[in-house]
Structure 1
Amino acid sequence: MDLALAPLPQEQTGKKDRGRQIYDLGHTTVFASKSDPRFSYCLYVPPTLGQGGSPNLVAVMHGTGRAFTSYRDAFAGFGRWNNCIILCPLFPVGVLGDGNRDGFKYMQEASIRYDEVLLSIVEEVGERYDLDVSRFGLFGYSGGGHFTHRFLMFHPDRLWAASIGAPGSVTLLDPSRDWWVGMRDVKERFGIEIDPAAMARVPVQMIVGAADIETWEITHREGGRHWMLGANDAGRTRPERLDSLRRSFEAHGINVRFDLIPNVPHDGNQVVEHVESFLAEVLRDRRANEQSIAEG
């Protein structure tokens, strides 16, 4: 028999199935992005994938500490009991060899567009698991909160929910100021027209600890990498800056659920249950609406 044409022995087929169970389901291994292997991601995939309806995707964006596997583990229970795949990207420090910790927060670093990196990873996950990823939920805390509210501004059509956690700096919907403080030159910089009406169709949560008041990391100083006039105008602390973002959104007709959590400092793990509650409510409404449409 020509060995090249021989079917795989049953033992090898079993190994392939076992490998999928270990590495592609549950708490997965770490995958390099096919479109740009400088970036990677891990997942939580419910072992019951494909049973009981089509799952939804929730992307969870890390902060400056890059604790992406910790966030995956924190949201695993939510993913299992709400039939969601949890996607946690990793955007490493110093991708360009310069030690920059903050590039992903402001959406662009040299030629890298981090919104496009996430979208390519989302599409890859959709292909791997035969998943509809036309819309997904997005949560980010601290540096991830930077990323989340700016991604919402750029791509509201791709999100079914956005949870913005404790960003150190915020971009207001202010047409009188340039990026990143405002949005005046976004079209020239990014080729994107920010559409507040489209943003208003996305359920939005803003969440921060009431005790998150240290300013050493978030105060911009002249000469810094992201210094510009108005860099500190949104407020002194994270709660103040997030409240400025809330008021900016609401002035443009965007409803916001604002959660100020008592006695919580700058610790993403302490807000996870509140984010899960928000996402679960949005999912219930979303699925009920889909069921109503399906029933005519």
Structure 2
Amino acid sequence: MLLRRVLRSDPTNEYLLYRPTGASIDSPLLVVVLGVSRHWQQQVATFIPACERLGVTLLSPSMGGAVRASYRSIGRQENRADELLHDCLREVSLHTGIDATRFRLFGHSSGAQFAHRYLMAHPHRVASAVIACARWYTFPDTARKFPFGIRPTKRLPDLSFNPEQYLRVRITLLDGSLDTEEEVFRHSDQISALQGKHRLERARRWVAAMRAQAQAHAMPSMIDLIEIEGVGHHFGPLCREGRLVQRVFWSLFGATVDEESAITQRQ
């Protein structure tokens, strides 16, 4: 059963928790962060069959309350989305006994914006990550302030980025080949010129920038981009036609989960 819980430390926030049948304290943990949607619980539920088959515990924070407006960029000093996630992780660890200090991470849409920034700021917490269809990215650019670069900002004075740490995290970017709608936002011309006019172009440029930084640090590239043919940005088609859940579990757990519950482990 997918449980919906109120966070004890912040009753304005909830999280979803799924524990597979017979799960032990050694159950691997998957954190799923999605965009703002009234279908949040329904979307998270699409991961349950695979979690059950592989024995994976799932946590999905609502990112509501005071962090809702700014969680994409980790929040503000007084309302930090990363600290909210840490509160959820602590509560789940107390409730289940599992070690929640390190986990696999998946983010889609606004959740992908949070997820890639979180792993860059807290790489020691993330074993591997899948980032799907983010609108904007934090580029590994020390000349630009966060959230579009990694230079420190007064808004989050204790947030720092260490390339030699975050470049070690295995990252898979997923985006639909049709995710090419050009978006116009107020004050976005300059950032669009740097990152690209649409999500797919921005994903390509971010991957190229991360690979270039890895090369500059004499480190192997740990990032891949998969362009899923025939789909765009929306969660439903990504799952139905783009096999999103199967791609996530292959990337994060090295396992293929088919419709008949068969499991193939990557060697």
TM-score (norm 2): 0.84
Which residue of the partner structure matches residue 91 of structure 2? 124
2:150 touches 2:160 (CA, 8 Å); kept in 1? Answer: no
| Separation of aligned partners in 2, 1:88 and 1:242 | 24
Larger radius of gyration: 1
How far has the Cα of 1:78 moved from its partner?
Answer: 1.6
How far has the Cα of 1:151 moved from its partner?
Answer: 0.2
1:195 to 162, 167, 181: 162
| Separation of aligned partners in 1, 2:87 and 2:153 | 21
Give the 5 Å matches for 1:40-119: 40-50=14-24, 54-65=26-37, 67-92=39-64, 95-96=65-66, 102-109=69-76, 111-119=78-86
1:187 touches 1:193 (CA, 8 Å); kept in 2? Answer: no
Identity score, percent: 26
| Counterpart residue type for residue 253 of structure 2 | A
Cα deviation 1:247-266 (Å, max 9, x = unaligned): 12112214212110000111
2:194 to 230, 233, 236: 233
Cα deviation 1:132-182 (Å, max 9, x = unaligned): 111011101010110011001110000111111110111101011112221
**Which shows bigger deviation, 269-278 or 258-267?**
269-278
Which residue of the partner structure matches residue 8 of structure 1? none
Distance 1:63 1:111, change over 3 A: same
Provide the aligned C-alpha RMSD in A: 2.5
How far has the Cα of 1:49 moved from its partner?
Answer: 1.5
1:140 touches 1:148 (CA, 8 Å); kept in 2? Answer: yes
| Separation of aligned partners in 1, 2:14 and 2:43 | 15
In structure 2, the gaps of 5 or more residues are 215-220, 239-243, 257-264
1:243 equivalent in alignment to 2:204: yes
Cα deviation 1:41-98 (Å, max 9, x = unaligned): 1112102222xx7101101001132533123211111211111111111022xx35xx
TM-score (norm 1): 0.77
1:140 touches 1:164 (CA, 8 Å); kept in 2? Answer: yes
How far has the Cα of 1:187 moved from its partner?
Answer: 8.0
1:273 to 226, 235, 246: 246
Which residue of the partner structure matches residue 217 of structure 2? none
Distance 1:205 1:154, change over 3 A: same
In structure 1, the gaps of 5 or more residues are 1-25, 289-296
2:180 touches 2:201 (CA, 8 Å); kept in 1? Answer: no
1:107 touches 1:115 (CA, 8 Å); kept in 2? Answer: yes
| Counterpart residue type for residue 87 of structure 1 | L
How far has the Cα of 1:240 moved from its partner?
Answer: 0.5
2:180 touches 2:199 (CA, 8 Å); kept in 1? Answer: yes
How far has the Cα of 1:228 moved from its partner?
Answer: 8.6
| Separation of aligned partners in 2, 1:32 and 1:232 | 41
1:58 touches 1:85 (CA, 8 Å); kept in 2? Answer: yes
| Counterpart residue type for residue 91 of structure 1 | M
Distance 1:183 1:166, change over 3 A: same
1:206 touches 1:242 (CA, 8 Å); kept in 2? Answer: yes
2:173 touches 2:223 (CA, 8 Å); kept in 1? Answer: yes
| Separation of aligned partners in 1, 2:77 and 2:30 | 28
Distance 1:214 1:188, change over 3 A: closer
1:31 equivalent in alignment to 2:5: yes
Distance 1:273 1:66, change over 3 A: farther
How far has the Cα of 1:230 moved from its partner?
Answer: 2.9
| Separation of aligned partners in 2, 1:203 and 1:42 | 25
